Amino acid sequence: MHEVALAQAVWRQVAAEMQHHPGRTLLEIRLTVGRWSGADPESLQFALQVLAAESPWPQAALHLRTEPLAVKCQACGREFEPQELNLACPDCRSADVEVTRGRNVYLESLEVE
């Protein structure tokens, strides 16, 4: 399952970060999930909850933020948020666009006590 592997990767990052804060308590994990990352936020949240429950910080709160998709037109340089699957540039109608945001899952911040 994609989300389980993703959650494990995120959790390894969390654990590595917490090694820099020995004796501290992890209160909150903020995670950004791109709309086009292919990850289902609910499954991801569930997988993370399972990992948190087995960790030294079972009380840590999880906040997932969905990041909208953004693309940049390679023809005219305009950046925009496409509607649904229409990726054509609203200015010059070029379909030569590059996805600049919304493709990844990443750890935004951790709150420790």
Q: Which residues bind Zn ion (CB under 5 A)?
A: 73, 75-76, 78, 89, 91-92, 94
Cβ distance to Zn ion smaller for residue 78 or 101: 78
Least distance from C-beta 96 to Zn ion, angstroms?
A: 8
Cβ distance to Zn ion smaller for residue 66 or 74: 74
Q: Count CB atoms within 10 A of the CB of residue 102.
A: 19
Cβ distance to Zn ion smaller for residue 47 or 71: 71
Residue 69 is classified by DSSP as P
**Nearest 5°: CA angle at 76, between 70 and 79?**
15
Cβ distance to Zn ion smaller for residue 9 or 76: 76
Number of helices followed by number of strands (H, E) in the chain: 2, 6
Least distance from C-beta 100 to Zn ion, angstroms?
A: 13
Q: Which two tokens stand for residue 49?
A: 């909850």
**CA–CA separation, 112 and 61 (whole Å):** 11
Least distance from C-beta 92 to Zn ion, angstroms?
A: 4
Q: Which two tokens stand for residue 62?
A: 């999880």
Least distance from C-beta 37 to Zn ion, angstroms?
A: 25
